[in-house]
Structure 1
């Protein structure tokens, strides 16, 4: 059954690849994109999302601008050294790009329409999603499941020695979601840092001319890969963090999981640190936490979709999907 997905994001290169994956996967119906600050400004994230949708001929999918800043406002930090000045590496959306945006209340309309068929996937700062919980507190209970990219357990962070970017960017919002979201799965750096693609895989994808993004994939990946090589010269590929929650939703066997309640430190030097009570007498919780990536499954899922091989696996033509 096709998964109805409302995606919260801040494109960003790995967000952009996640959007591509969602649009190309016949098992996913992307019903809306909520954009916010994070890798870039809210305005740039919105523009990038619109551009990606237009390339795929999907301009009918609602784009919903969300939060422009975190709940506890601090100096805003963006990441052009990783994602480029405009968020998708060397690619710049056309200056004359025309697109339509929808009001934030569209989230409520989508929830009421799809009810428990709707799955919310949040791969950015959770400020917009927390706002939706507050504004639509009754409707949001109807959502079928939530998937969150964020956190890090027993391994380094990526913006501080201990904190992952999404949880660090608005830890108050992250805590809110971790407390109130039901059927919640989180994808921390434990799984997403191992979800890397190599230049060789990208070359394969870039040769798939029926993929509408085939001309874009290589240059944005190369930008991203070179940025990561500066941080870790020995790496063989670049992690595509934000694609992991979508793959978890389609194929849960892509990861091994623990079930614990999670909290985030909101202040001080440990800001953004995610933790769970894993002591022998700690109480297991309801949140499903990805702890180990099954890389072979991950790679096969990415290649199947991005190389548009899913039709072969289904024994039917892509026109029938």
Structure 2
């Protein structure tokens, strides 16, 4: 049976790759896509998601627009310096125009309707700020039993990319991230930037993608601004497909090796705001104020077969 999957996203170049991986996978039942503010404003992320689906020939997949801002404090900075002014290196308009209108009622309404209609547990892959997912779980707790697991791209174990402490998706709405990762009971997998950076692809990989067919060529053409940023960030010519790594794990559980740990999210307004605090001490040393051992709840992705992961993503994107 195909895997029932919903993607929550803020496209974003790596989000576009992640959407395409799912949209082109025959073993995935892509139930819907919800959008959120993040790399660029909500209007742009929603249009980008619809255009990527049009590129993949997936007019059957509904798209609903979600949160335009964080739960509590305003977003301090977008990521247009990484993804370009429209989120896709200034090349969003090179993609096909969508034929399907945005779903009425918003992201949470679509999420609830898709989950309530599902006959088996649904995987949700949030690859942007976690605002929509926090709102869903807070307002509609009855849908928890319909969620198989939530596979999240976000966080950094050794630091961040938006600040020295915080990764962009978590930093954009720490209160929402804390709601999902700390306060909820739904099984979560967190795919941090420590691992996604190790999965970076080089110019040869991008060349193979561009030569694979019209979808691959169109996706590769979205990368110039993103590639320029990562040429500086990596020190060599390549890009980091953060979100596609998380969606690969959503599609093929176990493609990433995980370890279970307790997680906290820093929500203060100080320099550590948005930091993902993963307690990697031995379990016997993890005690609360009463001396009780604190169990790990979140599966943290720590390793993978790097070449195998890159080949998996390329093979899915070449299926067009």
Q: TM-score, normalised by structure 2?
A: 0.89
Change (3 A) 1:139 1:252: closer
1 CA distance for matches of 2:166 and 2:21? 27
Q: How does 1:175-186 map to 2 (within 5 A)?
A: 175-178=178-181, 179-186=183-190
Change (3 A) 1:87 1:142: same
Deviation (angstroms), 1:134: 1.7
Match of 2:216 in 1: 214
1 CA distance for matches of 2:154 and 2:146? 23
Deviation (angstroms), 1:217: 2.1
1 CA distance for matches of 2:135 and 2:254? 31
1 CA distance for matches of 2:75 and 2:173? 12
- Indicate yes or no: 2:21 matched with 1:2: no
Residues 12-21 or 100-109, more deviating: 100-109
Deviation (angstroms), 1:98: 5.6
- State the SS of the aligned residue for 2:221: helix
Q: Tell me, yes or no, if the aligned pair for 1:125 and 1:170 is still in contact at 8 Å.
A: yes
Deviation (angstroms), 1:75: 4.7
- State the SS of the aligned residue for 1:144: strand
Match of 2:289 in 1: none
2 CA distance for matches of 1:199 and 1:112? 43
Match of 1:141 in 2: 145
Match of 1:106 in 2: 110
- State the SS of the aligned residue for 2:72: coil
Q: Tell me, yes or no, if the aligned pair for 2:70 and 2:173 is still in contact at 8 Å.
A: yes
Q: How does 1:58-207 map to 2 (within 5 A)?
A: 58-93=58-93, 99-102=100-103, 103-104=105-106, 105-153=109-157, 155-178=158-181, 179-207=183-211
Q: TM-score, normalised by structure 1?
A: 0.89
2 CA distance for matches of 1:207 and 1:187? 29
Deviation (angstroms), 1:276: 2.5
Deviation (angstroms), 1:115: 4.7
Change (3 A) 1:215 1:277: closer
Q: Tell me, yes or no, if the aligned pair for 2:258 and 2:303 is still in contact at 8 Å.
A: yes
Q: Tell me, yes or no, if the aligned pair for 2:35 and 2:45 is still in contact at 8 Å.
A: yes
Number of matched pairs: 305
- 1:35-79 CA-partner distances (Å, limit 9, x unpaired): 010001111101111111112221221111100000122254212
Match of 1:306 in 2: 317
Residues 49-58 or 94-103, more deviating: 94-103
1 CA distance for matches of 2:309 and 2:301? 13
Q: How does 1:13-28 map to 2 (within 5 A)?
A: 13-28=13-28
Match of 1:311 in 2: none
Change (3 A) 1:229 1:271: same
Task: Give the RMSD, CA atoms, in angstroms.
Answer: 1.9
Deviation (angstroms), 1:284: 3.5
Deviation (angstroms), 1:181: 4.3
2 CA distance for matches of 1:75 and 1:132? 20
Alignment gaps of 5+ in structure 2: 287-293
Match of 1:254 in 2: 255
Alignment gaps of 5+ in structure 1: 309-317
1 CA distance for matches of 2:186 and 2:29? 21
Deviation (angstroms), 1:96: 7.2
